[in-house]
Amino acid sequence: MGKLHWLTRRMSAPPICVHFDSDAVRMMQMSSGKKPSLHMALEVSRHDELGMKEAIDSFKGKDCIISIPASDVLVQHIRISNSEDADEINSKLIQHSSEWEYCETRHVCVAMTGVGTGDAPKQELLCVGVNKKVAQIYVDELEAKGAHVLSVTVPLHASLRAFDNLYRRDGDEKITSMLIDLDEKSSFIMVAHGSHCVFARQLSLKPKANEDAWQAPESIETSQTPEGEFERRKEQPPRGLYEMMPSNTLIDGPLEQELRRCLQHHDALFPQRAVDRIIFSGSAASDTETCAAIASSIGVAGYIADPSAWIDGAEGCASGPSWTTAAGMCLRFSKEAA
């Protein structure tokens, strides 16, 4: 019985990875095997219900993983003492926004802070939340079309999961990257040391009414100490990144201020590490002129992501930065059904 069960699981199809953004739904399924290869990728208009059902019917199996839009995700950095429990953490989040009260939340410890200042050491947590009712709407939408949803994730997690194949090479733990995932309505900014995310912030391109301007924290002492001096890597970018030429185009003032606040936050936590490169992904990253202007404004080399560089068979139907999140989901969950 055990052997039969093993054979059945090995023969099952990997899940369909479904990424919702503001105007489209991108579906990707990779074939089983050691080297990533595309089985199928389809893009459907966000409001084309018949097209979504026909697309799901075109894949192998019905199991799906969903990534909901960045605009439906909450991201917040908070500082807590080591003694604070989950309820106290949740209370602090609700102080930032009442929406956290209805969210399923994940916490990632970014750094220990306050060391050497005379205060008790604290943790800086990166908190990511998804409203349970909102997530259920996406689940119900797909399951009404015949799919079976296994899990729900967010673009932040899925895009960074593509990091190992798309952005990292041996030795890239020395590289500090800012990943900007651009959607038409909302965007994520992430900073990673190697493939470890140490900062994330959601940018709404259409700010909510009465939304307070975000302020980066004041400089603090941290427990992060450099492990000796090292040389920054100056080799060619890894497979799947395409360098952009500098641009003289001006970017929107509030966007530039927001990006600089993000850099300020990172620099306050990790004064020994500067951002080496900016990587653009997401549907709006196809506007290379804007991406180049952002990179030039900050003064950091900019690159466009394209996962088709390392996925066999993706060149024709799943190329370009808009497919980065779906590709990351496939990598993360490729063994979920096998």
Would the pTM of this model clear 0.95, i.e. be above it? no
CA-to-CA distance for 323 and 308, rounded, in angstroms? 8
The pLDDT of residue 198: 87
Report d(CA 114, CA 124) in Å as an integer: 10
Nearest-angstrom CA–CA distance, 132 and 129: 9
116: amino acid identity, one letter = G
- Report the percentage of the chain scoring pLDDT > 90: 24
* Parallel/antiparallel/unpaired status of strands 122-131 and 103-113: antiparallel
The domain defined by 2-71+132-333 folds into Nucleotidyltransferase; domain 5 (3.30.420)
Structure tokens, 92: 């602090």
In this structure, what token pair is assigned to residue 314? 């993706």
Q: What HEC string does 54-113 produce?
A: HHHHHCCCCEEEEECCHHHEEEEEEEEECCCCHHHHHHHHHHHCHHHHHEEEEEEEEEEE
Helix (H) or strand (E) holding 134: helix 132-143
Parallel, antiparallel, or unpaired for β 148-153 and 176-182? Answer: unpaired
Report pLDDT for 153: 86
Domain range 72-131, its CATH number among 1.20.120, 2.40.350, 3.30.160, 3.30.1490: 3.30.1490
Rg (CA), the chain: 21
Q: Where are the domains of the chain?
A: 2-71+132-333, 72-131
pLDDT digits (tens, 9 = 90+) for 138-151: 999 999 999 999 98
Helix (H) or strand (E) holding 64: strand 63-67
- H or E, element range at 39: strand 37-45
- State the residue for tokens 């900050």: 298
Residues of the chain with pLDDT under 70: 1-12, 33, 112-120, 160-169, 204-236, 334-338
Q: What confidence tens digit (pLDDT) does each residue in 206-236 have? A: 544 444 444 555 544 443 433 434 455 556 6
Identical fold between 2-71+132-333 and 72-131: no
Strand, helix or coil for residue 314 = coil
How many Cβ atoms sit within 10 Å of the Cβ of residue 116?
10
**What does the pLDDT read at residue 124?**
87
Residue type, 36: P
CA distance 240 to 238: 6
| Beta bridge partners of residue 64, listed in sequence order | 16, 149
How far is CA 211 from each of CA 14, 88, 206, 208, rounded to the nearest angstrom?
42, 24, 11, 5
Beta bridge partners, 190, equal 179, 200
For residue range 247-297, what is the model confidence (pLDDT) as tens digits? Answer: 888 887 788 888 888 999 898 888 888 898 899 998 889 999 999 999 998
Q: What is the pLDDT of residue 219?
A: 46
